[in-house]
Amino acid sequence: MYKLSLERILIIIAVCLVGIFFAVPNVLTDKTNLPKWWQPVNLGLDLQGGSSLLLQVKMDDVLRDKMATLEDSVRQSMREHKLRYQDLGSNKDGVTVKIADYNARDKAKEAFRKLDSGLVVNEDENTPEIVKISYNDQAMAELKNRVIDQSVNIVRRRIDELGTKEPIVQGQGTDRVLVQLPGVQNPESVKILLGKTAKMSFHLVDETTSPTQAKRGKLSKTSRIMSGSEGEQYVVIRKPVVGGENLTDARVSFQEGQPVVSFKFNTLGGRKFAEVTSNHIGERLAIVLDNEVISAPNIQTAITGGSGVITGNFTTKTANDLALLLRSGALPAPLEVMEERTVGAGLGADSIRDGVIASIVGFAAIIIFMLLAYGLFGLMVDITLFLNLAIMLGIMSFIGTTLTLPGIAGIILTIGMAVDANILIFERIREEVNRGRSIRDAISVGFTEAYRTIVDSNLTTLVAGAVLFYFGSGPVRGFAVTLTIGILTSMFTSVTVSRLLVEAWMAKFKPTKLPL
């Protein structure tokens, strides 16, 4: 009979002990003071309770901004080619421009097609003088997918900054984002943060026009009027001198006892900021957040360090919220709450209780069956099942897996699969004994030959788990993770640990009859 070396025995024992150690927090009653690296399994929304938000991305706003940018490019192209045009405008569907001269129209259409990839340039069927510029279906689909991906990433960063444990943030459909917040019963503060686009930019104030004159219509095309956070009005240059995308960090600090927001630019942003503050000393620079001027200080000196300070009537909380929004980045489009659900902690507790009862009943049934069917060897299997469960929970706790109701189903399923592996081994041992082999040889052959079948069957299940994880989302992924971990631990316990127990029994009692 093949014997395990002392080194392998120590490794098997060590793996079992480590798994049990990391599983211990799951059975402790007081888990508040545990270190971060020694925590219980995270419970999902269906077990812990919490909130679920379905957010809709206002895609029309993105399309309007995209077409407004395209409109600027069309205007610039017409000027570069010195072509006359009229009635240049844009909406969410595209850009239109009137070009009366036939030759100029052909030249313009050729130039328009080079402005960006995926552009479709056509003349209006009823009015050929009007040229329509828009994006084809593929380009529009890529744009929408990119917007959803950006929204998911930025929402996830904002939620992570809040310290919410194991949130689920994922795209849903073509224009929606699903946010699940386990343990959060009142998501109002989250909704406020997610409802802010946080598009920040820096604009020079148009000192040649007062807000009163602007309201009377005396407003340059290059300027616009904006409201301030305190209700005042500002006339600012439309084109920003520095964009918020150049920010790399934002933190709360204090000046004269008042909270302010300190920010830093990247290299490009720092260079632009230095140029603007050097060339416009004495003028005002408006700091605009979501189309609202939050501050418009005078530029007193050139700021060349790539950093600055936003002042205003901030409280510590509002300053922290603003810094968080700036750190996590601007959303590509506003988000609107379409659906809100709250799962009570009591309902989650009911789910846990039902899952635990189901697990105990299934576990007890398996234990009794193995004892009745395989006697002493069945008892050894029952020991490995307890170890399998402990190691599973230990791994899930260590890597921070979120356990949901489908995950509990995965645990129960893998317990059954672990028993299947042992049944294959024991039945093969019986067959070898019936063929006349000695107990030692039968056990050796049983473990060796059944191992191949066990590996093949578990590999196919692992492939299924990988497919579920790759294509699934939310609870489906949770089930796939639990299933995969359970397969790996059951292979370890049902083959390696079982063999160690059988060998220890053989060495201790030297049996002459198989207890099967």
Residue 27 pLDDT > 70:
yes
What pLDDT does residue 200 have? 84
What pLDDT does residue 61 have? 86
| pLDDT band at residue 267 using 50, 70 and 90 as cut-offs | confident
One domain for residues 361 and 485: yes
Instruction: Give the CATH number, domain containing residue 22.
Output: 1.20.1640.10
Quickly list DSSP for 249-293: EEEEEEETTEEEEEEEE-HHHHHHHHHHHHHTTTSBEEEEETTEE
pLDDT digits (tens, 9 = 90+) for 353-379: 887 788 788 888 888 998 998 889 999
One domain for residues 213 and 317: yes
Let me know if residue 349 belongs to a domain. yes
Residue 499 pLDDT > 70:
yes
Residue 1 pLDDT > 50:
no
Q: Hunting for tokens 């697990």 — which residue is that? A: 359
Let me know if residue 178 belongs to a domain. yes
Q: Hunting for tokens 């001269």 — which residue is that? A: 101
Domain range holding 115? Answer: 59-138
What pLDDT does residue 102 have? 85
Q: Hunting for tokens 């909406």 — which residue is that? A: 91
Instruction: Read off the pLDDT of each residue in 319-337 and give the average, rounded to a whole number.
Output: 84
What span, in angstroms and rounded, lies between the C-alpha atoms of 205 and 213? 14
What span, in angstroms and rounded, lies between the C-alpha atoms of 243 and 19? 50
Let me know if residue 54 belongs to a domain. no
| pLDDT band at residue 239 using 50, 70 and 90 as cut-offs | confident
What pLDDT does residue 165 have? 65
How many independent structural domains does the chain possess?
Answer: 3
pLDDT digits (tens, 9 = 90+) for 124-158: 888 889 999 999 999 999 999 988 988 888 888 88
- Helix residue ranges, H only, 472-497: 475-491
One domain for residues 274 and 422: no
Instruction: Note the Cα 464 to chain centre separation in Å.
Output: 23
What pLDDT does residue 279 have? 92
Running DSSP on this structure, what letter comes out for residue 27? G
Instruction: Give the CATH number, domain containing residue 68.
Output: 3.30.1240
What span, in angstroms and rounded, lies between the C-alpha atoms of 275 and 263? 17
One domain for residues 120 and 179: no
What pLDDT does residue 164 have? 67
Q: Which of 59-68, 132-141, 187-196, 444-453 tops mean pLDDT? A: 132-141
Sequence-distant (≥ 6) Cβ neighbours of residue 126 within 8 angstroms? none
User: Which of 339, 360, 383 corresponds to the end of one domain?
Assistant: 339
Across the strands, what pairs with 86? 98
One domain for residues 380 and 460: yes
Instruction: Read off the pLDDT of each residue in 180-189 and give the average, rounded to a whole number.
Output: 80
pLDDT digits (tens, 9 = 90+) for 95-128: 999 998 888 888 999 999 988 889 999 998 888 8
Instruction: State percent of the chain over pLDDT 90.
Output: 22
Return the HEC string of 88-119: EEEECCEEEEECCCHHHHHHHHHHHHCCCCCE
**Phi and psi torsions of 127, nearest 5°:** -130, 90
Let me know if residue 91 belongs to a domain. yes
What pLDDT does residue 383 have? 92
What span, in angstroms and rounded, lies between the C-alpha atoms of 509 and 516? 15
Q: Are the C-beta atoms of 336 and 61 separated by less than 8 Å?
A: no
One domain for residues 88 and 151: no
Let me know if residue 514 belongs to a domain. no
Sequence-distant (≥ 6) Cβ neighbours of residue 465 within 8 angstroms? 480, 481, 483, 484, 487
Could you give the count of Cα atoms lying within 13 Å of 25 in the half-sphere of its Cβ?
A: 21
| pLDDT band at residue 304 using 50, 70 and 90 as cut-offs | confident
- Number of residues that this document lists for the chain: 516
Least confident of 64-73, 319-328, 459-468: 319-328
**Mean pLDDT for the chain?**
86
